[in-house]
Structures are given as structure tokens and as C-alpha cells.
């Protein structure tokens, strides 16, 4: 089996090496990827949306349909994990009660977590809010925010975290983030523009069309951030406890 695998991989390697001959060189400014669409984005992005970070502009404005459905994929993944792991039959569950019960009384761990978690959460909010001007945005900020809660669950225990952030609240956040994203799009639609055409928010916010696009980007980034953060927590809750939400790791 292993020898056969190596043969298959060798054939794939030869094909890929043959293909690599035609690929552009590393960091070639004249490569096809850098000559068609990306100059337009870089030269017009700031003027059209008043947002210096072009990655954010493309993510949340030019390709906002794509990003919305990425959020839906993440949302669907959280639901699938719930369906697969939660509500196991009692009999099976009894078999699996061999996880050691963590008391979580480590003073050093708790002290360090108390110091780090607030800083992490403020940094996460900064990453979301400052995503227009520096590397950052909903995905990154959401992951950092989710990581702060996972750190809490690791340093104390899962029960402690669930008491503070119940599963129902997490699931409301999972759906709420996607809903906020789609809601912004729907408001634009109601104002007579295309779905997710943020210029439609200009009348509501009382700013020009360019600034309205900047604010629209922020709104959907917040939606993405909420979804990603709560999906991280939902995945952790279910995976760490095998779907029982009792003791965790």
C-alpha cells in the first residue's frame, strides 16, 4: 500500500513539475495574477470606498457575496457539529464517562488567564474596528475573541465558561452574525440598490455614498466577527466535551 502510494505521488510530482515550468516566477510584477483585476482594485478601491485597506475593501465590498456565503459555511459547520455530537443516547454516554474531572484550581494559570483575557478581548475589538486602516477585520478579530473564551475554558474549566456564556447565547450569536450581514444587504435592497450595495445606506446614515460604503463594510465585518467568534466557541464546547457540555478537557 505504502509503495503504491509513493508511485502515485511520484507520478503526481512529475506532472506538477511539468506544470511549474509555465508558472510565473516568484514575486514577478508582470505575472497574470497581478496584471488584470488587482491594479483596478488598488487604484480605485480607496476612491470608491474611503477605506485604505484594500484587502478589507475586496473582502467586504467587491466580493461581499462571497464573504457572506463563507459566513454561511461557517454557520453550517457549527450546526453540523451540533447535529453530529449533541443528544447522544444515554447508554453510550455512560460508557464514555472516563474523562478526568478538572477542578481548575491552578493559581498561576488562573492569574495568567485573568491578566491575558481582557487584553485579548480589547485587542480583538480593535482588530475588528481598525480593519479599515490596518491588517484586520471580522475574521481575525472574531478568532481572537473566540480564543479568549477558549483560554478561559482551558484555564478554569468548561462548566465555568458555559455558566458565563451559555450554549443558547452562543447559538443566537452564530445566527445573529449571519443575520446582521444579510440584514445590511437587505436594507440596501430596500433602499433601491443592489443586495449589499452599501451606497444605499447613504440616506439612512446621512453621509455620502463613498462614506456609506465604508460604514457598510464595518457593519458586515462586525457580523462576520460575531459569527466567527461564536462558531469557534460552539465548536470548542461540543468537541471538547464530546457533545455533553459537562466537564470538557
Partner 1 sequence: MDEIFHFIIGKYNYWASLVLLFIGLYGMIAKNNLMKKIIGMVIFQTAILLFFVSIGAKRGATVPIIEFGPDKQPLLEASAYANPLPHVLILTAIVVGVATLGVALAVLQKIQRVHGTIEEDEVLEDQRQ
**Site residues for partner 1 per CB under 8 A:** 1-2, 5-6, 8-9, 12-13, 16-17, 20-21, 23-29, 31, 33-34, 37-39, 41-43, 45-47, 52-55, 57-59, 63, 66-67, 70, 73-74, 77-78, 80-81, 84-85, 88, 92, 96, 133-135, 137, 139-140, 143, 228, 231-232, 235, 238-239, 242-243
Query: Taking the complex as a whole, how short is the minimal distance between the CB of residue 150 and partner 1, in angstroms?
Result: 12
Q: How far is the CB of 108 from partner 1 (least distance, A)?
A: 29
Q: What is the DSSP letter of 135?
A: S
Give least dist CB 14 to partner 1, A: 11
Cα(199)–Cα(188) distance, integer angstroms: 8
Give me the least distance between CB of 225 and partner 1, in Å please. Answer: 11
Our CB check for partner 1 shows the closer of 13 and 119 to be 13
Least distance to partner 1, CB of residue 218, Å: 16
Helices (H), 62-137: 64-85, 90-95, 107-129
Nearer Cβ to partner 1 (52/118): 52
Decide whether 87 or 190 has the Cβ nearer to partner 1: 87
Q: What does the alpha-carbon distance between residue 188 and residue 176 come to, in Å, rounded to a whole number?
A: 18
CA-angle at 158, arms to 156 and 163, nearest 5°: 95
Using only C-alpha atoms, the chain has a radius of gyration, in whole angstroms, of: 23
- Shortest CB 81 distance to partner 1, Å: 4
Task: Identify which of residues 129 and 191 has a Cβ nearer to partner 1 in the complex.
Answer: 129
Maximum alpha-carbon separation in the chain: 68
CB atoms within 10 A of CB 220: 27
Q: Specify whether the CB–CB gap between 234 and 241 falls below 8 A.
A: no
Minimum distance from residue 19 beta carbon to partner 1 (Å):
9
Minimum CB distance to partner 1 smaller for 35 or for 194: 35
Contact 77, 70 (CB under 8 A): no
Nearer to partner 1, 66 or 106 (CB): 66
Residues 6 or more apart from 163 whose CB is under 8 A from it? Answer: none
Give Cα separations from 209 to 51, 132, 176, 216, 221 (angstroms): 13, 17, 26, 10, 18
**What is the spatial distance between Cα 201 and Cα 120, in angstroms, rounded to a whole number?**
32
- For partner 1, which is the closer residue by CB, 54 or 191? 54
Amino acid at each position: 500500500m505504502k509503495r503504491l502510494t509513493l508511485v502515485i505521488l511520484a507520478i503526481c510530482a512529475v506532472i506538477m513539475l511539468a506544470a511549474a515550468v509555465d508558472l510565473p516566477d516568484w514575486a514577478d510584477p508582470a505575472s497574470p495574477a497581478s496584471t488584470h483585476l488587482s491594479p483596478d482594485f488598488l487604484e480605485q478601491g480607496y476612491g470608491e470606498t474611503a477605506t485604505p485597506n484594500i484587502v478589507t475593501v475586496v473582502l467586504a465590498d467587491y466580493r461581499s457575496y462571497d464573504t457572506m456565503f463563507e459566513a454561511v459555511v461557517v454557520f453550517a459547520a457549527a450546526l453540523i457539529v451540533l447535529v453530529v455530537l449533541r443528544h447522544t443516547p444515554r447508554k453510550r454516554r455512560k460508557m464514555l464517562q472516563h474523562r478526568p474531572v478538572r477542578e481548575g484550581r491552578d493559581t498561576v494559570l488562573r492569574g495568567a488567564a485573568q491578566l491575558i483575557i481582557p487584553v485579548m478581548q480589547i485587542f480583538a475589538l480593535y482588530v475588528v474596528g481598525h480593519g479599515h486602516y490596518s491588517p484586520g477585520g471580522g475574521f481575525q478579530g472574531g478568532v481572537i475573541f473566540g480564543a479568549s473564551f477558549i483560554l478561559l475554558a482551558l484555564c478554569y474549566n468548561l462548566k465555568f465558561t458555559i455558566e458565563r456564556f451559555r450554549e443558547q447565547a452562543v447559538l443566537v450569536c452564530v445566527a445573529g452574525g449571519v443575520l446582521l450581514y444579510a440584514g445590511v444587504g437587505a436594507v440596501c435592497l430596500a433602499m433601491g440598490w443592489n443586495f449589499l450595495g452599501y451606497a444605499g445606506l447613504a440616506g439612512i446614515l446621512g453621509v455620502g455614498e463613498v462614506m456609506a460604503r465604508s460604514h457598510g463594510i464595518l457593519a458586515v465585518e462586525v457580523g462576520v466577527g460575531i459569527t466567527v467568534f461564536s462558531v469557534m466557541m460552539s465548536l470548542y464546547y461540543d468537541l471538547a466535551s464530546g457533545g455533553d457540555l459537562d466537564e470538557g478537557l
